[in-house]
Amino acid sequence: MPGKTIAEKIFSRAAGRDVFPLERVWLDVDLAVVRDFGGPNVVLEYDKQFGNTCPAHPDKIAMTFDYQAPAKVTKVAENQRICREFAAQHGIKSVYDVQYGIGQHVLLERGRVLPGEVIVGTDSHMNLLGAVNAFATGCGTTDLTAAWKTGKLWFKCPPTFKVIVNGSLSSPTGAKDLTLFLMNKIGTDIANYRAVEFYGEAIDNLDLAGRLTLASHMTELNIKIPFFSHSPSVHSWLEERAGRKIEPIEADADAAYEGVLEYTVEGLRPVVAAPHYPTNVLPAGAEGVVGQKINSGFIGSCSNGRIEDFREGAEILKKAGGKVHPDVRLIVTPSTKEVAIQMLHEGLYDIYMEAGAMVTNPGCSLCTIGHHGVLPKGDVLISTSNRNFEGKLGRGGIIYLGSPAVVAASSAKGVITDPSTL
Amino acid sequence: MKFKGKSWVVPDDIDTDQIYHGQYLPVTDPHEMAKYALTFTPGKENFPNEVSEGDILVTGKNFGCGSSREHAVICLQYNGVSCIVGESFSRIFYRNAVNLGYPVLECPGITKMVTEGDEIEVDLDSGLVKNLRTGKTITGVPLSDVEAEISNAGGLLEYLKTH
Ligand code: SF4
């Protein structure tokens, strides 16, 4: 029998027997998470189907409120209350209310996500938790209702592609550029419903923030889940958060892959994803891109909302003169409360606010239309989030995606700017 | 299970914001969700008013990519769209449909043989699709074992009651 990929190992453990690619199996779920959208639908469905009976494992349920935090419309406020009341009724302790920030990041910081675990949630970017080699996937409300009740859910074991990324990046090119470069190369078809294991020098060098950036874009490629080469520093961070020793999970040397893709990022320059697809990637300095007038900038979201991202943005902003262009609204949103506190301690709030940016409370912010910062028709946004689909932030709004460095440089100049030319 | 109805056709890569926009996410009543179905898809802004009970949606590749919102399936279901036949589906959309017991058929090549408005017939179990205007047929990929069991039970929650 050949060895196992990471996906096969996780599936086999959670099913209690050997599982092979494309098999549908029922797995024990380690954590079932809802947000403040989706969450109320799950609670209402649960009450309708199962009345007052208790969920199988209240300790394996979490709620994170990051869709509209704090609520601005009564309906959302009511929805959040529906979730809180259900949690109180059933002894669900892990409610991360509106002050905490983006769910997946909060759960990571709290040590609730560990390598090898099976996690589901009502966000299509749950799979960014593959950054620490957990199997996490976005599900609908019916799935979550079932997982709460039974502690189990059906899954198809994905075949795995191996992706090797050679070369090293030199600042201001970073994890976002590597990510967008790979998005363009891999595209939405080849790895559809596949797991991907990332290896190579460029991947080994990614810290947790960089892994989160790459992992948070996999949904846009239809990739089920990304996994990563072992990183001692990420692993010790996880152990510190979990408060105990944990087993890393790695593929066997003789595991069978559906295919191997190999790329090099040596010499890569900053890039952007132009409207309206995240795979529509061009050099930030390319004709037709560089010099494009922008109306707003956004640094944040689950792809680029870590402290490392705000350091990078602040450094480039200073380099570009320290001021946001008078015609641009730059919005900066830490992913979590923990990141916000760190930003305060490092003086990053001062840098951004004195430059003329607005620093908001933690959350998903300009990644969904549920929040502030939506676009009027014809306005152009340069954003570090993971999607630039048409109409995402309002009908007729135009979105480019780029790194914190690209967003900071562009916000300072008022036009899309390659930060390596500053 | 067989369906016959008038077809609506949408192109490749229609994402969940186009099917059911994020601004309506707070809605929890499925009848209200139905009012917003496809209203962000170019050319289909008036879909909820124009669609009739029993119509069939034909989609391009990667239908339902984007968010995990189950609203995207429910809003079509509550407009009386009897089933969806697509070149391919995004996995979460497909999974949500199965979990709701809502008929979906993956059928590569379908958009090349159906023009919007054509009357088509879909046999979910065999995967056979027939265009009643042209007489042409094509075969899609029916649901696999576990998926079919769940879908035929009427969805995941019904399935759990008997398993
Ligand atoms: S930032 Fe966007 S993609 Fe990320 S968790 Fe929030 S809504 Fe989902």
Q: Write out pLDDT tens, residues B42-88.
A: 999 999 999 999 999 999 998 998 777 889 999 999 999 999 999 99
Q: Which residue has the tokens 């440089």?
A: A409
B11 touches chain A (CB under 8 A): no
Nearest to B22 by CA among A358, A143, A364, A218: A364
* Cβ-based contacts under 8 A for chains A and B: 107
What span, in angstroms and rounded, lies between the C-alpha atoms of B46 and B30? 18
CB–CB contact B157 A146 (8 Å): yes
Asked if A140's CB is within 8 angstroms of B70's CB, the reply is yes
Residue intervals of chain A classified under CATH 3.40.1060.10 are: 160-264
Q: CB-based contact (8 Å) between B94 and chain A?
A: no
Cα–Cα dist A6/A256, whole Å: 11
DSSP designation for A95: E
**Angstrom distance (rounded) from CA A88 to CA A65:** 15
Q: Let me know: does A334 contact A69? Beta carbons within 8 Å.
A: no
Fold of A160-264: Aconitase; Domain 2 (3.40.1060)
Do you find a cis peptide bond into A70, omega within 30 degrees of 0?
A: yes
DSSP A132: G
Angle between helices A348-355 and A307-319 (to 10 degrees): 40
Complete edge-to-edge strand list for the sheet that includes strand A118-121? A94-96, A61-64, A31-35, A118-121, A135-138
Cβ contacts (< 8 Å) between A219 and chain B: which residues?
A: 66
Residue nearest to atom 6 of ligand 1 (CA): A364
Residue list, ligand 1 pocket, CB within 6 Å: A 66, 102, 123, 125, 301-302, 364, 367-368, 386
Cβ burial of A278 (10 Å; 0-12, 13-18, 19+) is buried
A72, burial (CB in 10 Å: exposed 0-12, middle 13-18, buried 19+):
exposed
Secondary structure class of B84 (helix, strand, coil): strand
Collapsing DSSP states into helix, strand and coil, what is residue A86?
Answer: helix
**Which residue in chain B has the smallest CA separation from A46?**
B157
Q: How high is the pLDDT of residue A372? A: 82
Q: What phi and psi, each to the nearest 5 degrees, are found at residue A7?
A: -60, -45
| Nearest of A385, A410, A411 to residue A399 by alpha carbon | A385
Report the residue of A83, A129, A154 to disrupt the B interface, i.e. the one with the largest count of B CBs within 10 Å: A154
- What residue spans in chain A does CATH classification 3.30.499.10 cover? 27-154, 273-421
Report the residue from A79, A142, A392 with minimal CB separation from B96: A142
**Considering only CB atoms, which chain A residues are within 8 Å of B68?**
38, 122-124, 126, 138-140
Cα A29 from chain centroid (whole Å): 20
Q: Are A271 and A302 in contact (CB under 8 A)?
A: no
CB within 8 A of A350, min separation 6: which ones? none
B44 touches chain A (CB under 8 A): no
State both tokens at A6.
Answer: 């990471």
- Cβ distance of A395 and B157 shorter than 8 Å: no
Per DSSP, helices labelled H in A91-225 are: 103-109, 141-150, 175-186, 201-204, 208-215
The architecture of the domain spanning B2-162 is Alpha-Beta Barrel (3.20)
Establish whether the linkage from the previous residue to A276 is cis, with ω within 30° of 0.
yes
- In angstroms, the separation between the Cα of residue A232 and the nearest Cα of chain B is 32
Look at residue A212 in the predicted model and tell me its pLDDT.
98
- Residue A202 · residue A166 · CB < 8 Å: yes
Q: Which two tokens stand for residue A73?
A: 């419309």
Contact B67 A124 (CB under 8 A): yes
Do residues A169 and A270 lie in contact, with contact meaning Cβ atoms separated by under 8 Å?
A: no
Contact by Cβ (8 Å): A273, A400: yes
Q: Which residue shows structure tokens 């990183």?
A: A231
Domain ranges of chain B: 2-162
- Angstroms from B92 CA to nearest CA on chain A: 6
Q: Please tell me the distance from the alpha carbon of residue B58 to that of residue B55, in angstroms, as a whole number.
A: 10
Q: Is B18 helix (H, G, I), strand (E, B) or coil?
A: helix
CATH of A27-154, one of 3.40.50.720, 3.30.499.10, 3.40.50.300, 3.20.20.370: 3.30.499.10
Alpha-carbon gap, residue A264 to A178, rounded angstroms: 10
pLDDT, one tens digit for every residue, chain A (422 residues) = 789 999 999 999 999 999 999 999 999 999 999 998 889 999 999 999 999 899 999 999 999 998 888 998 898 999 999 999 999 999 999 999 999 999 999 999 999 999 999 999 998 899 999 999 999 999 989 999 999 999 999 999 999 999 999 999 999 999 999 999 999 999 988 888 899 999 999 999 999 999 999 999 999 898 999 999 999 999 999 999 999 999 999 999 999 999 999 999 999 999 999 999 999 999 999 999 999 999 999 999 999 999 999 999 999 999 999 999 999 999 999 999 999 999 999 999 999 999 999 999 999 988 887 778 889 999 999 999 999 988 888 888 999 999 999 999 999 999 999 999 99
User: What distance in angstroms lies between residue B24's CA and the mean position of ligand 1's atoms?
Assistant: 16
CB contact at 8 A, A155 and A29 = no
CATH code for the domain defined by A273-421: 3.30.499.10
Q: Rounded distance, CA A318 to CA A333, Å? A: 18
CA of A125 to the centre of ligand 1 (A): 6
Q: Would you call B156 and A146 a contact, using CB atoms and an 8 Å cutoff?
A: yes
Round to whole Å and give the CA distance between A218 and A225: 7
pLDDT (0 to 100) of residue A249? 96
Residues facing residue A165 across a β-bridge: A263
Round to whole Å and give the CA distance between B29 and B107.
31
